[in-house]
Amino acid sequence: MTTKKHIPDVWDGLAVFLWSFIFLAGLFPESVFFLLRQLGDVTLHQAFINSHWFITFACSGFLGWFACQRSRESDVPDDIAFGKGVLVTVLALAAFLPLQIELLPAYLHIPLPGIRFLILSVIAIKGLCWFYLVQLIMRYHLFSGTDVFKNMLLFFPSALMQKEKATQETRPLAATDESGEPPAGME
């Protein structure tokens, strides 16, 4: 059995460079939104979009679509590829939450321990999801190619249900069991 090895080229390097901007914008969506609005000299009442959530949803949607398309390129069935795209979208929504992580030292001084634990947990989840997505894209461009998406685990069992249902429909039903007796209810 031969395996296809991914050899990165100049385009992969440029793609990683562009992905770094998307991931930085997703890590700090509020700051990037206000910076872009300032650079564009757009006032609040002239803005077409007045929310930093646009960056969160746009980056998450694009990343999910990208994962779905690369999964299809690696000969994964469409329903499983769609499930992987949804999984990456959900992870990206968590990774690109507009939470000001630059205020982490201030979050440590919140007097209520339950609220402090909740905020620090959300920051930890955001960081873990962000690092997972960064390594997924880096592995795709620099090391494994589409095999990354082919071997990616799928946490949504509903994407596998269609395949399971199809195999159950094609399996012939036995009229008798091993003892030669018809199954209960088939008399």
Within-domain flag for 36:
yes
How would you class 61 by CB atoms within 10 Å of its CB: exposed for 0-12, middle for 13-18, buried for 19 or more? middle
Domain for residue 47, yes or no? yes
Q: Is 109 within the bounds of a domain?
A: yes
pLDDT at 155: 81
Instruction: Look at residue 179 and tell me if it is in a domain.
Output: no
Measure the N-to-C terminal CA separation of the chain; round to a whole number of Å.
50
Does the pLDDT of residue 183 top 70, yes or no? no
Q: What total of structural domains would you count in the chain?
A: 1
Mean model confidence pLDDT for the chain: 85
Q: What is the mean pLDDT of residues 25-47?
A: 87
User: Helices 113-139 & 78-95, crossing angle to 10 degrees?
Assistant: 130
pLDDT given for residue 181 in this prediction:
64
Residue 168 placed within a domain? no
Question: Is residue 20 assigned to a domain?
Answer: yes
Cβ proximity of 29 and 100 under 8 Å: no
pLDDT of residue 174: 54
Residue 144 sits at φ, ψ, to 5 deg, of -110, -15
Domain-embedded: residue 91: yes
Q: Is residue 171 part of a domain?
A: no
Range of the domain at 93: 10-163
Q: Give me the mean pLDDT over the 94-115 stretch.
A: 92
Task: State both tokens at 156.
Answer: 């949504």
- Read off the pTM: 0.79
In the chain, what percentage of residues exceed pLDDT 90? 57
Give the C-alpha separation, 66 to 141, whole Å. Answer: 13
| Mean pLDDT within 78-106 | 93
User: pLDDT tens-digit profile of 113-145?
Assistant: 999 999 999 999 999 999 999 999 999 999 988
